[in-house]
Amino acid sequence: MVSDSLKGRVALVTGASRGIGAAIATKLGLRGAKVVCNYSKSEEAASKVVSRIVEWGGEAIAIRADISSKVEVEAMVEKAVEVFGRLDILVNNAGILIRGGVLDDISILDRMFEVNVKGVIYCIAASLKYMIKQRYGRIINIASIAAFGTTSRNTTYYAMTKGAIITLTKRLAFELGEYGITVNAVAPGFTKTDMTMNRPAEELQAAIRQLESITSLRRVGEPEDIAEVVAFLASDRAGFITGQVISVDGGRIDFFSRSA
């Protein structure tokens, strides 16, 4: 019988030190996966995520790698396989948001592209070496509803990088299906993490109130909301789902276009 248990599986979650990635890593660990928690700077926070998984009876390690460095990503994936013997699940969660659009310096787009797009490709390429041999893999990319044309200002370049992730997801699903590898994306709406919450309290409260008013479920997201869907996509229960993008946004209604 298919189950949501991830026992026997090995998962690599990028950007697992904080926010959505930390919630995903913890959830996968609790469901039985051995988890590699990647981080770039927050060593202490990543160690805490590892300790939490281990305290609850799971297995986890933290590995530092800047995903925008191909060399560091390759070393991380090799180390993960050296420690846990295989790699079944890759969650491409690490990402950065630098606010700006076409009236701003294009170097913003370059930096976000390095991490949000090329970083994801490096992680996938390094992992495929093992997944193709195993003829099994679950790749889950964290995109954003920004890619569909939300009306949030100053996020155009960011949205472009997430649009690239959605295209990558669909094209790879087709290319990798024959190896038993599924590729899906989760597109979160506003979720409470450092990425979104780091701003003056009054401004933040006003922003949240405004977002609640344009969300069907009248609340913004928690990292746990995203983690639950990722854990489903990582499990055998989602074995016949590939090339899909699941929005987890409480039913946002502020889209410039409904053509996505």
Query: Which of the residues are catalytic?
Result: 157
Q: Which residues contact 235 (CB under 8 A, 6 or more apart)?
A: 2, 3, 4, 5, 6, 31
Interface with ligand NAP by CB under 6 A: which range of 9-17, 177-185, 205-213, 227-235? 9-17
Find the binder of ligand NAP among 8, 41, 51, 174 (CB under 6 A).
41
Are 94 and 21 contacting, i.e. CB atoms less than 8 angstroms apart? yes
CA distances in angstroms from 209 to 60, 203, 225, listed in the order given? 37, 10, 19
Q: How many CB atoms lie within 10 A of CB 150?
A: 20
Identify any residues that bridge with 34 across adjacent strands, giving them in sequence order: 10, 59
Q: Which stretch binds ligand NAP (CB under 6 A): 27-35, 39-47, 122-130, 250-258?
A: 39-47
Q: Is 144 in the site for ligand NAP (CB under 6 A)?
A: yes
Give dist(CA 203, CA 83) in Å, integer: 45
Among 150, 191, 215, 235, binds ligand NAP (CB under 6 A): 191
96 part of the interface to ligand NAP, by CB under 6 A: yes
Single out the residue of 26, 27, 40, 87 in contact with ligand NAP (rule: CB under 6 A): 40
* Candidate list 25, 62, 94, 164; residue touching ligand NAP; CB under 6 A: 94
Q: What angle do CA 58, 66, 98 make, to 5 degrees?
A: 110
Of the candidate residues 10, 11, 13, 21, the single one contacting ligand NAP (CB under 6 A): 21
Which residue from 180, 193, 172, 141 is spatially nearest to 23, judged by alpha carbons? 193
When binding is defined by CB under 6 A, the residue of 29, 39, 124, 164 that contacts ligand NAP is: 39
Smallest distance, ligand NAP to C-beta of residue 160, A: 12
Number of residues near ligand NAP (by CB under 6 A):
31
Which residue's CB is nearer to ligand NAP, number 45 or number 132?
45
By beta-carbon proximity to ligand NAP, the closer residue of 21 and 58 is 21
SS3 176: helix
Whole-Å CA distances, 2 to 6, 24, 180: 11, 21, 16
3 state DSSP class of 143:
coil
For residue 151, the minimal CB distance to ligand NAP (Å) is 15
Which of 136, 145 has the CB closer to ligand NAP?
Answer: 145
Residues that bind ligand NAP (CB under 6 A): 14-15, 17-21, 38-42, 66-68, 93-97, 115, 119, 142, 144, 188, 190-191, 193-196
